[in-house]
Amino acid sequence: MFLRSFSMALLVALSGPVVADNDDSPLNADRGQARPVIVIANSAADPALVKLQAALKEPANQAAFKERNMVLYTVVNTLGKREGKDLDPQSTMALIRALKLGASAQAKVILLGKDGEKKLEHSGPVEPQQLFSTVDQLPASQKELSKPVDPNQPAPAPLDD
């Protein structure tokens, strides 16, 4: 009897994190809708975090950020935020697990495409223009930025980035 209970408990314990990875990550809600930019830092005073947040407050950068359907996630220690609003601890941990990152002394800046795949991973400070140019080089973004198509021709199938 004990062995059966122990086996069941072990099975539940081992499968729990796998299920949590797929269901709890706030990145799942953004898939197909937005391009998450995630900054993971050890301190709120980290230069990479401070510099990027300050740059994104400038009106031109703010407009470019929104135009490209980007959302900003920040994780400082274990406190996560999406667009300045706090995430609960489970969502923050699910976000970190979903990114599958190793330990790092420097801040990490990660850009995900609408398909949920990493498009850029950078250690240390990053300029908003680097993020914007990475998005602009994605296949679907190039089509979004190109001139309008002839209305008499059928529209091409959209590409996922």
Instruction: Output the 3-class SS for 14-82.
Output: HHHHHHHHHHCCCHHHHCCCCEEEEEEECCCCCHHHHHHHHHHCCHHHHHHHHHCCEEEEEEECCEEEE
Does the domain at 24-136 match CATH 3.40.30.10? Answer given as yes
pTM of the model: 0.71
Q: Over 80: is that where the pLDDT of 73 sits? A: yes
pLDDT single digits (tens) 6-38: 444 444 455 555 444 445 788 998 898 999 999
Least confident of 10-14, 39-43, 80-84, 134-138: 10-14
**Average pLDDT, rounded, for the chain:** 80
**Residue ranges covered by each domain of the chain:** 24-136
Alpha-carbon distance of 119 to 61, in angstroms, equals 19
Return the sign of the alpha-carbon dihedral for residues 132, 137, 138, 142. Answer: positive
pLDDT single digits (tens) 110-133: 999 998 899 999 998 999 999 999
